Chain A
Amino acid sequence: MNILELAGVVKTYPTHPPVYALAGVDLKVAEGESVAILGRSGSGKSTLLNVLGLLDEPTEGTYRLLGTDTGDLSGASRDAFRARSLGFVFQESHVLGHRTVRENVWLRLAISGVPHGERRELVEGVLGRVGLTHRADAPGRLLSGGEKQRLAVARAVVSRPRVLLADEPSGNLDDSNTEQVLDLFAEQAAAGVAVVVITHDSRTAAWADRTCVLVDGKITEAGPR
């Protein structure tokens, strides 16, 4: 079953002159599938991810998420979708520096509306899986780059989303940290999560089930590894 389905998606930024960031994109991602999106800087990768993540709306075309046409959704429903069904990992991890590792994950559960009673177990579980149990009480600003990115992954997946969206998650990481993050992504894919990763990194591209290359807002090459 396809979790994500883009058909003829166009995104134009109404600047002067207008920017045609996406110029007709078709993309389908199935349950448990991992897709790497490649492309030069400015080719529209982040725009694509924002559309997929309901952070931005396409100018034209349709986007079906979990069977729902997102063009019909209200702002509140889009918020709810992000809270319950989507997980994000950005190049900059956006860890809250003055909050502890545990609080960073807890915040995500609070936003997702997970009842208080279930939060503790979920937080401890996910921190164990990303190997941050020993850092649980440290404030976010004291973490290393790799630790921050693992925390970002923990925060993204703790509420069990159906889709994981990552924008150059390994952009700031060395090889061994990149490997750890990819392992975590693989775990998610194995659990049925659709994973879309934007990357420059050939190792990440090689890891994904499928790669797509964006050129001037169009997917020019897509296929299995």
Chain B
Amino acid sequence: MTMRVLRDLVADVVTETSSRRARALLMVAAVGLSVGSLIAAVGIATTAATQINADIAASTLDLVSLTVVPEPGGPPVTLPDDASDRLEAVTMVEAAGARLNVSEIASVLVTRTADPRAAQIRSSVPVVGVTSGYLRTARAVDSDHLWMLDSPDLRVAYVGVTAAADLGIPVTADPGGLRVWVDGVAHDVVGFIEPGGPASLERAVAIPYAQAVAYTGTDAEATLLARTEPGAGAQIARVAATAVRPDAPQRLEVSPVVSVESLRRGVNTQLDRLAAWTGSILLALTVLLIANSMVVAVTARTAEIGLRRALGTPARGIAAVFLTEGAFVGALGGLVGAAVASVTVVVTGLINRWDVVLEPWMVAAGPVLGLVVGLVASVYPALRASRISPALALRAD
């Protein structure tokens, strides 16, 4: 198809469409309504889902973490010895504990044997000091021996499963007899830590918290973790610092931890899918509506089509007129629909005080969707028009 033919075709369709303005506007409105509904439905669903997720996230907030705010020149230890107990004493706190990342302050070597030279050196196994309460809070270990972590004298260790693989330690249900050497001091392995959960200790070796503080001499890198009753996270966050350090709550920084990710995705896809279904049915209806309107138009224009054929327009030229008209009207309708939908989503969001989520691609999809709807709808009418016999169409009697 040459440029000239294309130019004539577009000019022809624009003239034709604008001379049947009422009909064209109705078709544009139909496409606009359906495409707009689809985009608005998806947009509102997305916005609502995001809002619901935020609400759910707030209501399921059940972890609070406190970190030490370093104070230059201040005492090296910030957390009182009974910090975990103080937190657990707060109503609605179910468990609490402390953690200190030793490897970030002191370099300690973990080996499998007493002689570091005889062992292959495993440099990158981090050492972490934890209280029993911490592992309970993080639900990281299921073990009867957790209390051992609270003793300053018992040389025990929980080994993360990845760390165990690094060290060549078999992960067994009964770790009796297994040992690791931390900085040359033997620790009996009393359990293993599985991956997952907020603790992320599977790469580390966990030793009693008090011994960790002894290595580092400071708890500047310590973290307190508290598990609350579901939904109480935000409230606990407000009082946690005062509960631990009533004299200097500013030495602790508190942040709620969102731990529910999977629920969020579920709500999103369900609402989106419903909206997409409803919108698709509307689109299909619009295709039928426009196809019907165009078949009527083809019948009404039979004589004109016959004349055009007599003047030399090829059959595919006739089809092209109707396909172009469908695409033109469809794209225009899609544009209108996208605009209306954007306004609808924003207004709905404002009325409900939601954070509006309007993806740019959804708006851009409007005209494309409309174009496809128009094209699909005009295939059958175009085919019909192209099959009109000029000899029959032009018979006077």
Chain A positions within 8 Å of B, measured between CB atoms, are: 46, 50, 53, 55-56, 75-76, 79-84, 86, 88, 90-92, 94, 96, 98-99, 103, 107-108, 110-113, 115-116, 155, 167-168, 171
A96-B304, A110-B12 in contact; A88/B396 too (CB < 8 A)? no
The complex places the Cα of A116 from the Cα of B3 at a distance, in Å, of 11
Pick from B303, B312, B390, B395: contact of A111, CB below 8 A. Answer: B312
A75-B315, A79-B313, A79-B314 in contact; A94/B4 too (CB < 8 A)? no
Q: Which of B19, B20, B307 has the most CB of A within 10 A?
A: B307
Q: Which residue of chain B lies nearest to A83 when distances are taken between CB atoms in the complex?
A: B312
Q: Which of B19, B312, B313 has the most CB of A within 10 A?
A: B312
Q: Which residue of chain A lies nearest to B7 when distances are taken between CB atoms in the complex?
A: A116
Residues of chain A contacted by B56 (CB below 8 angstroms): none
B15 interface residue (CB < 8 Å to A): yes
- Flag if B20 contacts A76 (CB, 8 Å): no
Residues of chain A contacted by B391 (CB below 8 angstroms): 50, 55-56
Residues of chain B contacted by A108 (CB below 8 angstroms): 311
Q: Count contacts between A and B, CB distance < 8 Å.
A: 71
The complex places the Cα of A83 from the Cα of B315 at a distance, in Å, of 13
The complex places the Cα of A108 from the Cα of B307 at a distance, in Å, of 10
- Flag if B20 contacts A53 (CB, 8 Å): no
The complex places the Cα of A56 from the Cα of B315 at a distance, in Å, of 14
- Flag if B311 contacts A111 (CB, 8 Å): yes
B residues 298-323 with Cβ under 8 Å of A?
Answer: 303-304, 306-315, 317
A75-B315, A99-B15, A99-B19 in contact; A88/B304 too (CB < 8 A)? no
Residue interface bits B111-133, CB-to-A below 8 A is 1, else 0: 00000000000000000000000
The complex places the Cα of A111 from the Cα of B320 at a distance, in Å, of 13
The complex places the Cα of A115 from the Cα of B8 at a distance, in Å, of 10
B394 interface residue (CB < 8 Å to A): yes
Residue interface bits B216-228, CB-to-A below 8 A is 1, else 0: 0000000000000
The complex places the Cα of A152 from the Cα of B311 at a distance, in Å, of 11
- Flag if B307 contacts A94 (CB, 8 Å): yes
Pick from A56, A76, A83: contact of B311, CB below 8 A. Answer: A83
Give the distance to chain B from A165, nearest Cβ to Cβ, in Å: 9
B residues 1-55 with Cβ under 8 Å of A?
Answer: 4-5, 7-8, 11-12, 15, 19-20
- Flag if B15 contacts A94 (CB, 8 Å): no
Pick from B308, B315, B396: contact of A167, CB below 8 A. Answer: B396
Residues of chain B contacted by A81 (CB below 8 angstroms): 312
- Flag if B395 contacts A110 (CB, 8 Å): no
Give the distance to chain A from B24, nearest Cβ to Cβ, in Å: 12
19 additional A-B pairs beyond A55-B310, A55-B391, beta carbons within 8 Å, are A56-B391, A75-B314, A79-B309, A83-B311, A90-B394, A92-B396, A94-B303, A94-B304, A94-B394, A98-B20, A107-B311, A108-B311, A110-B12, A111-B311, A111-B317, A113-B4, A116-B4, A167-B396, A171-B396
Give the distance to chain B from A186, nearest Cβ to Cβ, in Å: 23
Q: Which of A55, A81, A83, A103 has the most CB of B within 10 A?
A: A55
Q: Which residue of chain A lies nearest to B19 when distances are taken between CB atoms in the complex?
A: A98
Q: Which residue of chain A lies nearest to B18 when distances are taken between CB atoms in the complex?
A: A98
Residues of chain A contacted by B19 (CB below 8 angstroms): 98-99
- Flag if B311 contacts A90 (CB, 8 Å): no
- Flag if B15 contacts A82 (CB, 8 Å): no
- Flag if B8 contacts A80 (CB, 8 Å): no
A94-B304, A94-B307, A99-B15 in contact; A80/B312 too (CB < 8 A)? yes
- Flag if B310 contacts A82 (CB, 8 Å): yes
- Flag if A103 contacts B15 (CB, 8 Å): yes
B residues 228-257 with Cβ under 8 Å of A?
Answer: none
